[in-house]
Amino acid sequence: MENDPLRPDVSWVTPTRRLAHFLRCRFDEACIAQGMAVWRTPDVVTWSGLVERLFALERQAGRIAGRWLPDSAARLIWERIAQRDPATSGLVSPGLLGHSAYESWRRMHAYRIPPEVIAAGDTPETAAFARWAAEYAAWLERHRSMDESGAVDRLDPDARGMTLEFIGFDALTPAQRSFLQRLERSGTVVSHRTAAQAEGHLSWVECVDRMAEYDAAARWAAQRLERRPNDRLAIVVPGLSAERDAVRRVVERVLVPTATLAGGPAPESQGYELAAAPALSERPLAAAALEVLNAFTCIADLAVASRLLRSPFLSGAAVEADKRARLDARIRRGQGPDLGLPRLARLAADHQCPDLARALEASIALTQQWPRRALPSRWSRLWFELLRAMGWPGTELDSDEHQARQRWAQLTAEFGACDDYVGAVTAGEAASLLSDMAQGTLFEPEELRAPVTIIDPATCAGMSFDALWVCALDSARWPAPASPDPFLPRDWQARQRIPGTTAEVAAEDAQRLLGRLCRSAGEVILSVPQFEGDAPLLPSALLAGVRRGELPDSWCARAPARLAFDARPQLESLVDAVMPPLEHAESARGGARLLEVQSACPFRAQAEFRLGARALEEPEIGVAASERGDLVHRVLARIWGDTRDQRTLSSLSKDELRAMIRSTITAETADAQRDAQGVMRHLLEIEHDWLECRVAELLAADLERPPFRIEGVEEQRSISIGGMTLTLRIDRVDLLDDGSVAVIDYKTGGDAEPDAWLGERPRLPQLPLYAEALGMDRVSAAAFGRVRTGDTGFCGLARDSVVFPGLKSPAARGWPSEHSSWQELLQAWRRRLATLATEHAQGDARLAPDPAHACKYCHLAALCRIGETRLIAAAEVTGDD
């Protein structure tokens, strides 16, 4: 391209937007290389764009009438036609079937299969397609509309004086050939650019699997760029759109190593360009617009409110970011799952977010004027108004966001042109249709210019590179298995040689495609995975005659942490793992959980309980695990608070006991039941039934025990330990016949085992701490009261088998071997609790997590930077740089 004479009089036609963008970039580079300061922008248009342009010219000239039907609108019509067909009523997603059928409609026209052949089809799929195609054609006729397929079939444009050069078309379809003949007859000059004929170095190599291929390809690219930074490279991945995330993860580790430090998928970077366009709905700016529509057309729950608060695309988002974040944290703690927008507006005003409050109030006022049903053209105007009132999309947009905004506006306008076939719909239906269209619209910004392009084989047609790596050359994929179109008659597909129809056609296409790839760069490496999961793979037969090579020397990316570390300014190093100590006997926050966290990780305990570094609550559907735990505690506290001893409980008949459990649960869930709506009400009923069974099971276990009385339920106690004071709430204390007490802790989770009380740093030290608060000498048993499906009952440790049968006692099986007696266990608890409490009171904030459990469910990794610390420690041990 760069060596071609610049011909601004020529319009270049490409099969894809990607190639059009590629050519524009190459054209600009060629102009700069020739020392030009200004130049005419080249006219590069996709095939679809050319057809639409010629339609518009013909219409302007008065040679045809009617309207242009955009692709997104055509897909929507097909979706609705398929949904309306009674034959698809049993399907989960008939709309998706409509999308596939639309592709078949395009294929049918591209390969000129006559409608009569379709109508005579003898499979149920072809018969259904024939019905839908007839309905669609009648609709086009009735509404004087023309889609791209119809335009290619029927337009006979007068395009005299136009010069077209076609680039990147592996093969033209019969409909395209016919269209070009008509253009040439009218005086258009048409030429075809043949693929680049690079003669270079070609070899194939083997990798273990596809991940290893991506890794090897990325290292090969990095190594090459280190030597020749101006090279243009490509990694070709068949089925890239399905593999997108896997490819990105592997490649990013090598080409953008710092991306892995931030965690999560990074956006496309300047290091490489991933040429697999995601749906417009996945672009943050469009997703924010859809979120607004969703919030104002459906029930706005806590999750929706939270996303609105965090959106950077709404009015005043930058100025009010901190306040909104605080409000987000607040509503997660204090609201039920249903949080309406008027309430959110009031909360925003109360929490110093005036911009958001104003935007919400203005938007709510607008929505109150909305009709119950309206045509899409009206809804699209109302959407624009609503988004404007919400301040979307903000003011500081970058280039990608500007493009996404334009595409969104275009899509909303396309939706607005769908009155004829959508009809009057509700706001919710309209928003859902627009959301579907956004999901079906692929979009990628045109600004990316990176040295490495990752691309699929079809999209890179017409492009040339300095070097190319083609992945997945195994016999299962090259050639791909035949995949005929299910809606079109097989014999006609074979006759017209539609790609993929038969194994023979697929083999020919694969041969041609591979030939084109091999000619598009000076160096081409073809790689073959040896395994797919556990299944071995063979090299493709198409590799016969290609020289087998060796994997290039593996280029070693330097560890990101090491890179950052090496680039550090000269700083004095100070390890500061101590917080200021607590005042003597100062009350510490956190109760018994404080020692649990201190035991797991001293840093976390200091950060969480003294600095307030808490995780945001996550909105949950249904009854959250924490709410379930609270409910269990409240119900059992109420039952034992009323009953007070085992004898009273045992005097109740089975029915009376059941009735008491039921009425207690009803009383404890009354508030939640009153506020709940819809599904939540059903979920509470299910929870009620579940809890009734579990409580009955636990009380039955209590009735099996020797007599006891209740000394306390949910009793608050203070304890001075290790130089600080803790306030505890003890679930239950039973006074036994011999005057000793059993202390009980209810658990609904799955980790309640007595093992958790053992070791120098016990995982769950609450029960030992309760025993200490009650006076170790008085305690003869400690038990978890487990409340969970299939495993409700007591487990724990006891002084002997008489005080609390069923618990493990000294000399019995299961008693911890490191303790010879109950007294010795209590002494060990006392010592370990004092150690943990002293550590905390003295400000111990070491990063010393329990390796087995601590970090797994901890939210503080970004604050404590344990990942980086471990990387650096590992690098220091291995000497890796």
Q: How far apart are CA 533 and CA 554, in angstroms?
A: 23
Least separation, in Å, of the C-beta of 763 and ligand SF4? 13
Instruction: With CB under 6 A as the rule, give the number of residues binding ligand SF4.
Output: 12
712, containing H or E segment: strand 708-721
CA atoms within 13 A on the CB side of 189: 8
Specify which residues 808 forms β-bridges with: 797
Q: Is 836 in the site for ligand SF4 (CB under 6 A)?
A: no
Give the H or E element holding residue 430: helix 427-440
Q: Does 855 bind ligand SF4 (CB under 6 A)?
A: yes
> In this chain, which of 277, 542, 825, 854 binds ligand SF4, going by CB under 6 A?
854
* Residue 847 contacts ligand SF4 per CB under 6 A: yes
Of the pair 618, 738, the CB lying nearest ligand SF4 is at: 618
Q: Where are the beta strands (DSSP E) in 260-333?
A: 272-274
Q: Which is nearer to ligand SF4, 493 or 599 (CB)?
A: 599
Contact partners, residue 618, CB within 8 Å, separation at least 6: 332
User: Using CB under 6 A, which of the segments 68-76, 196-204, 553-561, 853-861 binds ligand SF4?
Assistant: 853-861
Q: How far is the CB of 855 from ligand SF4 (least distance, A)?
A: 3
CB of 874 to ligand SF4, least distance (A): 15
From the list 221, 165, 230, the residue with the least C-alpha distance to 192 is 165
Which of 167-175, 177-185, 776-784, 856-864 is the region at the interface with ligand SF4 (rule: CB under 6 A)?
856-864
Put residue 545 in one of left, alpha, beta given phi > 0 → left and psi -120 to 50 → alpha: left
Q: Determine if 595 is a binding residue for ligand SF4 (CB under 6 A).
A: no
Is 629 or 867 the residue whose CB approaches ligand SF4 more closely? 867
Stretch near ligand SF4 under the rule CB under 6 A, chosen from 70-78, 165-173, 650-658, 848-856: 848-856
Nearer to ligand SF4, 133 or 845 (CB): 845
Q: Is 860 in the site for ligand SF4 (CB under 6 A)?
A: yes
Query: By CB under 6 A, which span of 62-70, 336-344, 376-384, 598-606 interacts with ligand SF4?
Result: 598-606
Q: Which is nearer to ligand SF4, 759 or 806 (CB)?
A: 759
Q: Is 261 in the site for ligand SF4 (CB under 6 A)?
A: no
The stretch among 482-490, 507-515, 544-552, 858-866 that binds ligand SF4 (CB under 6 A) is 858-866
Q: Are 157 and 183 in contact (CB under 8 A)?
A: yes
Measured CA to CA, the distance from residue 645 to residue 647 in angstroms comes to: 6
Q: Which of 290, 282, 279, 280 is closest to 383 using CA atoms?
A: 290
Stretch that binds ligand SF4, among 57-65, 479-487, 601-609, 735-743 (CB under 6 A): 601-609
Q: Is 807 in the site for ligand SF4 (CB under 6 A)?
A: no
| Interaction between residue 866 and ligand SF4 (CB under 6 A) | yes
* DSSP class of 459: T
Q: Which residue, 132 or 603, is less far from ligand SF4 as judged by CB?
A: 603
For the bound state, the minimum distance from the C-beta of residue 607 to ligand SF4, rounded and expressed in Å, comes to 6
CB contact at 8 A, 100 and 125:
no
Q: Which is nearer to ligand SF4, 592 or 858 (CB)?
A: 858
- Judged by CB under 6 A, does residue 858 bind ligand SF4? yes
Residue with tokens 């290790």: 722
* 534: three-class secondary structure by DSSP: coil
Q: How many CB atoms lie within 10 A of CB 22?
A: 27
Residue nearest to ligand SF4 (CB): 858
Under the binding rule (CB under 6 A), the answer on residue 861 touching ligand SF4 is yes
Least spacing, CB of residue 603 vs ligand SF4, in Å: 5
Nearest distance, CB of residue 151 and ligand SF4, angstroms: 60
Task: Report the residue from 603, 640, 708, 794 that binds ligand SF4 according to the rule CB under 6 A.
Answer: 603
The footprint of ligand SF4 on residues 180-209 (CB under 6 A) is none
CB closer to ligand SF4, 430 vs 855: 855
Nearer to ligand SF4, 290 or 864 (CB): 864
SS3 105: helix
In whole angstroms, what is the distance from residue 34 CA to residue 27 CA?
Answer: 11
* Region near ligand SF4 per CB under 6 A, out of 421-429, 527-535, 642-650, 859-867: 859-867
Burial label, 863 (beta-carbon count in 10 A; 0-12, 13-18, 19+): middle
Q: Using the rule CB under 6 A, is 251 a contact of ligand SF4?
A: no
Q: Which is nearer to ligand SF4, 128 or 855 (CB)?
A: 855
Asked if 283 touches ligand SF4 (CB under 6 A), the answer is: no
Nearest alpha-carbon partner for 136 in 169, 98, 168: 98
Q: Read off the amino acid at residue 638.
A: R
CB of 4 to ligand SF4, least distance (A): 57
Q: Please, which residues have CB within 8 angstroms of residue 684's CB and are 6 or more apart in sequence?
A: 623, 669, 672, 673, 676
Gap between the Cα atoms of 296 and 298, Å rounded = 6
Owner of token pair 């909303």: 412
Which helix (H) or strand (E) covers residue 639, if one does? helix 625-643
CB crowding 689-722: b at 16 or more within 10 Å, else e: eebbebbebbbeebeebeebebbbbebeeebebb
Helix, strand, coil shares of the chain, percent, nearest 5, are: 50, 15, 35
- The stretch near ligand SF4 (CB under 6 A) out of 37-45, 251-259, 599-607, 717-725 is 599-607
Instruction: Find the shortest distance in angstroms from Cβ 598 to ligand SF4.
Output: 11
Q: Does 604 bind ligand SF4 (CB under 6 A)?
A: yes
Q: Does 594 bind ligand SF4 (CB under 6 A)?
A: no
Which amino acid, residue 85?
D
Lookup: tokens for 513: 């495609």
Of 414, 730, 416, 455, nearest to 591 by C-alpha is 730
Among 217, 418, 849, 871, indicate the residue that binds ligand SF4 (CB under 6 A): 849
Contact between 137 and 101 under an 8 Å Cβ cutoff? The reply is no
C-alpha distances in Å from residue 144, one per residue of 137, 150, 158, 595 = 10, 11, 21, 76
845 contributes a contact to ligand SF4 by CB under 6 A: no
Q: Which stretch binds ligand SF4 (CB under 6 A): 165-173, 331-339, 387-395, 597-605?
A: 597-605
**Phi-psi category of 672—alpha, beta or left, where left has phi over 0 and alpha has psi -120 to 50?**
alpha
Residue type, 383: W
C-alpha span between 427 and 162 (Å, rounded): 46
Instruction: Supply the minimum distance, in Å, between the C-beta of residue 847 and ligand SF4.
Output: 5
The residue among 438 and 601 lying less far from ligand SF4, judged by its C-beta, is 601
Whether 261 contacts 560, CB under 8 Å: yes
Structure token digits, residue 92: 């989960």
Supply the minimum distance, in Å, between the C-beta of residue 854 and ligand SF4: 4
| Comparison of 80 and 610: residue with beta carbon closer to ligand SF4 | 610
> For strand 535-536 and strand 531-532, is the pairing parallel, antiparallel, or unpaired?
antiparallel
- Give the one residue of 353, 601, 657, 756 binding ligand SF4; rule: CB under 6 A: 601
Residues 398-437 contacting ligand SF4, CB under 6 A: none
Min dist CB 728 to ligand SF4, Å, is 23
How far apart are CB 262 and ligand SF4 at their closest, in Å?
A: 16
Q: How far is the CB of 831 from ligand SF4 (least distance, A)?
A: 24
* 661 vs 855 by CB, closer to ligand SF4: 855
Query: Residue 686 and residue 112: Cα distance in Å, rounded?
Result: 58
Residues near ligand SF4, by CB under 6 A: 601, 603-604, 847, 849, 854-855, 858, 860-861, 864, 866
